[in-house]
Amino acid sequence: MVDYRFSHRLKVRYSEIDGQKIVFNAHYLTYIDVAVSEYFQTLLEHDLGTTFDFVLAKSTIEYKRSAYLNDWLTIWCRMDKVGNKSMTMNFMITREDEVEPILLAEIIYVSVDPETMLTSPVPDFVRERIEQFELEPNQ
Protein backbone atom coordinates (compact mmCIF):
# COMPACT_ATOMS: atom_id res chain seq x y z
CA MET A 1 0.00 0.00 0.00
CA VAL A 2 1.28 3.42 -0.89
CA ASP A 3 0.58 5.06 2.47
CA TYR A 4 1.96 2.21 4.56
CA ARG A 5 5.70 1.55 4.81
CA PHE A 6 5.45 -1.58 6.96
CA SER A 7 3.43 -4.78 6.71
CA HIS A 8 3.36 -8.23 8.22
CA ARG A 9 1.69 -11.34 6.76
CA LEU A 10 -0.04 -14.17 8.57
CA LYS A 11 -2.40 -17.01 7.80
CA VAL A 12 -5.80 -17.44 9.50
CA ARG A 13 -5.78 -20.60 11.60
CA TYR A 14 -8.70 -22.88 12.49
CA SER A 15 -8.68 -21.80 16.15
CA GLU A 16 -9.31 -18.17 15.08
CA ILE A 17 -12.64 -18.75 13.33
CA ASP A 18 -16.01 -18.81 15.06
CA GLY A 19 -19.29 -20.68 14.56
CA GLN A 20 -20.02 -18.55 11.49
CA LYS A 21 -16.72 -19.78 9.99
CA ILE A 22 -15.24 -16.27 9.95
CA VAL A 23 -12.41 -14.79 12.01
CA PHE A 24 -13.73 -14.00 15.49
CA ASN A 25 -13.52 -10.22 16.01
CA ALA A 26 -11.11 -10.28 18.98
CA HIS A 27 -8.43 -12.03 16.91
CA TYR A 28 -7.96 -8.94 14.76
CA LEU A 29 -6.44 -7.15 17.76
CA THR A 30 -4.05 -10.07 18.14
CA TYR A 31 -3.08 -9.74 14.48
CA ILE A 32 -2.44 -6.02 15.03
CA ASP A 33 -0.43 -6.75 18.17
CA VAL A 34 1.78 -9.20 16.26
CA ALA A 35 2.32 -6.63 13.49
CA VAL A 36 3.11 -3.73 15.84
CA SER A 37 5.63 -5.92 17.68
CA GLU A 38 7.31 -6.67 14.35
CA TYR A 39 7.20 -2.95 13.45
CA PHE A 40 9.07 -1.92 16.59
CA GLN A 41 11.41 -4.88 16.43
CA THR A 42 12.38 -3.84 12.90
CA LEU A 43 12.82 -0.16 13.78
CA LEU A 44 14.54 -0.53 17.12
CA GLU A 45 16.35 -3.86 16.65
CA HIS A 46 18.53 -4.43 19.73
CA ASP A 47 17.19 -1.39 21.67
CA LEU A 48 13.63 -2.69 22.07
CA GLY A 49 12.76 -3.23 25.72
CA THR A 50 15.90 -1.69 27.14
CA THR A 51 14.75 1.88 27.70
CA PHE A 52 11.37 1.83 25.98
CA ASP A 53 8.09 0.04 26.35
CA PHE A 54 4.49 0.88 25.53
CA VAL A 55 0.95 -0.17 26.36
CA LEU A 56 -2.32 0.09 24.49
CA ALA A 57 -4.50 2.97 25.68
CA LYS A 58 -7.30 3.10 23.11
CA SER A 59 -8.37 1.15 20.06
CA THR A 60 -10.92 2.08 17.43
CA ILE A 61 -11.79 -0.65 14.95
CA GLU A 62 -13.91 -0.49 11.83
CA TYR A 63 -14.83 -3.92 10.45
CA LYS A 64 -15.35 -3.80 6.68
CA ARG A 65 -15.47 -7.45 5.56
CA SER A 66 -14.77 -10.91 6.94
CA ALA A 67 -11.64 -13.03 6.80
CA TYR A 68 -11.85 -16.80 6.54
CA LEU A 69 -9.89 -19.94 7.40
CA ASN A 70 -6.60 -20.18 5.48
CA ASP A 71 -6.76 -16.60 4.18
CA TRP A 72 -3.34 -14.95 3.99
CA LEU A 73 -3.72 -11.52 5.56
CA THR A 74 -1.45 -8.51 5.36
CA ILE A 75 -1.46 -6.19 8.37
CA TRP A 76 -0.33 -2.73 7.28
CA CYS A 77 1.08 -0.38 9.95
CA ARG A 78 1.71 3.35 9.89
CA MET A 79 2.73 5.64 12.75
CA ASP A 80 0.72 8.82 12.25
CA LYS A 81 1.66 10.83 15.31
CA VAL A 82 4.22 10.73 18.09
CA GLY A 83 3.27 12.97 20.97
CA ASN A 84 5.07 13.57 24.25
CA LYS A 85 3.91 10.31 25.90
CA SER A 86 1.61 8.76 23.31
CA MET A 87 1.79 7.43 19.77
CA THR A 88 -1.08 7.04 17.31
CA MET A 89 -0.86 4.24 14.76
CA ASN A 90 -3.16 3.33 11.92
CA PHE A 91 -3.64 -0.17 10.64
CA MET A 92 -5.29 -1.76 7.67
CA ILE A 93 -5.79 -5.47 7.19
CA THR A 94 -6.21 -6.80 3.67
CA ARG A 95 -6.49 -10.22 2.15
CA GLU A 96 -3.40 -11.22 0.17
CA ASP A 97 -3.21 -9.45 -3.20
CA GLU A 98 -6.32 -7.34 -2.51
CA VAL A 99 -6.50 -3.62 -1.83
CA GLU A 100 -9.95 -3.44 -0.25
CA PRO A 101 -9.63 -3.46 3.54
CA ILE A 102 -11.07 -6.13 5.76
CA LEU A 103 -10.48 -3.89 8.76
CA LEU A 104 -9.26 -0.37 9.57
CA ALA A 105 -8.00 0.54 13.03
CA GLU A 106 -6.52 3.43 14.94
CA ILE A 107 -4.67 2.58 18.12
CA ILE A 108 -3.15 4.90 20.68
CA TYR A 109 -0.21 3.55 22.63
CA VAL A 110 1.32 5.15 25.72
CA SER A 111 5.03 5.08 26.41
CA VAL A 112 5.89 3.58 29.79
CA ASP A 113 9.02 3.09 31.86
CA PRO A 114 9.86 -0.64 31.50
CA GLU A 115 10.67 -1.01 35.20
CA THR A 116 7.85 0.97 36.85
CA MET A 117 5.26 0.67 34.05
CA LEU A 118 4.37 4.33 34.70
CA THR A 119 3.85 6.68 31.77
CA SER A 120 6.99 8.32 30.50
CA PRO A 121 7.99 10.49 27.54
CA VAL A 122 8.66 8.72 24.25
CA PRO A 123 12.48 8.47 24.14
CA ASP A 124 14.20 10.65 21.56
CA PHE A 125 15.87 7.69 19.85
CA VAL A 126 12.44 6.07 19.34
CA ARG A 127 10.95 9.28 17.97
CA GLU A 128 13.92 9.75 15.61
CA ARG A 129 13.79 6.20 14.24
CA ILE A 130 10.04 6.39 13.67
CA GLU A 131 10.34 9.73 11.86
CA GLN A 132 13.25 8.46 9.78
CA PHE A 133 11.39 5.30 8.79
CA GLU A 134 7.98 6.88 8.12
CA LEU A 135 9.39 9.85 6.17
CA GLU A 136 12.02 7.93 4.20
CA PRO A 137 11.18 7.87 0.48
CA ASN A 138 9.90 4.55 -0.83
CA GLN A 139 12.58 2.62 -2.65
What confidence tens digit (pLDDT) does each residue in 37-66 have?
999 999 988 665 567 899 999 999 999 999
**Longest CA–CA separation in the chain, Å:** 46
pLDDT reading at 84 higher than 60:
yes
pLDDT confidence of residue 47 = 64
* pTM tops 0.85: yes
pLDDT reading at 139 higher than 50:
no
Query: What gap in Å lies between CA 131 and CA 112, rounded to an integer?
Result: 19
pLDDT reading at 118 higher than 70:
yes
Q: Alpha helix locations (H) across 10-98?
A: 26-44
CATH class, range 6-135: alpha beta
pLDDT confidence of residue 85 = 97
In the β-sheet with 53-63, what is the strand arrangement from edge to edge?
6-11, 72-82, 86-95, 101-112, 53-63
